[in-house]
Copies of this chain bind each other. A is one copy, B any other.
Amino acid sequence: MATPELKKLFGQRHCDECVLHPLCKPPLVGIEEIERLSGSVLARRPLERDSVLFRAGEPTRSVFISQNGSFKTVAINEAGDEQVIGFYFPGELIGLEGLGDGKFRADAVALELAHVCEVPLPALERVAGQRADFQRQMMRAMGEGMARHQDHLEMLGRKQAQERLAMFLHGLSERQGRLGRDPLQLHLAMSRSDIGSYLSLVIETVSRGLSKMQDEGIIAVKGRHLRVLSPQRLQALAHGDEA
């Protein structure tokens, strides 16, 4: 849907994939509105694996959308230990937490080669002020962000490691599906230790959990490639229906 003009204005390549996100979904913002901020909306160079998109504490001047490539956000507490707070896939807004007090609350790190689109806040606010529908989309995007956090909280609320893992995989699968890809074929862009940090489990427990699911014939794992063999049983596990 990304029209040639839209592509040109937003920067360049890959916006076709970005269509997924409400922000980019036409006819959200007409060309003429985009025009008005074309000076400030700019595309970004590719970010390679492990490179940092923004750091906790930095003033929030923009939010970001990955066009392709996934990210993690990592919070570092005063004790110095890291915790993975979220994973972001193409089309999802990154950095919304920073809108609270104007500073990012976590580091954002590319999990693989990625291309992000940077949206400066002034531009965001300007368009939002002029287009009620766009403003609603922004709210919606933030609401979705909060909803994802809530899902994460519910994951951590489950006491059984196996259930958390199952919820995690199930969630990945869903998101994968929404991206139009095969929901049963997961490429884990993140390391085991990222997963562990995200689920508040040590890496050994993650590993054991995956092995167990594999033994039970629910999934097939090989390194960072994972195939869901029985979505039903995976979901059941996620809901704590069985051991």
A interface residues with partner B (beta carbon < 8 Å): 75, 77-79, 83, 85, 96-101, 105-106, 125, 128-129, 132, 135-136, 138-140, 142-147, 149-150, 152-154, 156-157, 159, 197, 200, 239-241
Contact partners of A144 in chain B: CB under 8 A: 100-101
Interface hub of A85, A142, A156, A241 (most chain B Cβ within 10 A):
A142
Task: Check if A153 sits within 8 Å of B152, measured CB to CB.
Answer: yes
Task: Check if A83 sits within 8 Å of B143, measured CB to CB.
Answer: no
Task: Check if B138 sits within 8 Å of A149, measured CB to CB.
Answer: no
Task: Check if A75 sits within 8 Å of B154, measured CB to CB.
Answer: yes
Distance of A122 from chain B, by nearest CB (Å): 10
| Bound-complex Cα distance A240 to B79 (A) | 7
Task: Check if B78 sits within 8 Å of A142, measured CB to CB.
Answer: no
Contact partners of A75 in chain B: CB under 8 A: 150, 153-154
Q: Considering the complex, give the chain B residue whose CB is closest to the CB of A136.
A: B125
Task: Check if A143 sits within 8 Å of B98, measured CB to CB.
Answer: yes
Q: Considering the complex, give the chain B residue whose CB is closest to the CB of A82.
A: B157
| Bound-complex Cα distance A222 to B59 (A) | 43
Task: Check if B100 sits within 8 Å of A143, measured CB to CB.
Answer: yes
Contact partners of A101 in chain B: CB under 8 A: 140, 143-144, 147
Query: Can you give 18 contacting A-B residue pairs, CB < 8 Å?
Result: A75-B150, A77-B239, A83-B153, A83-B157, A85-B154, A96-B142, A97-B143, A97-B147, A100-B140, A100-B145, A100-B147, A101-B143, A105-B150, A128-B128, A128-B135, A129-B129, A153-B156, A156-B156
Task: Check if A96 sits within 8 Å of B146, measured CB to CB.
Answer: yes
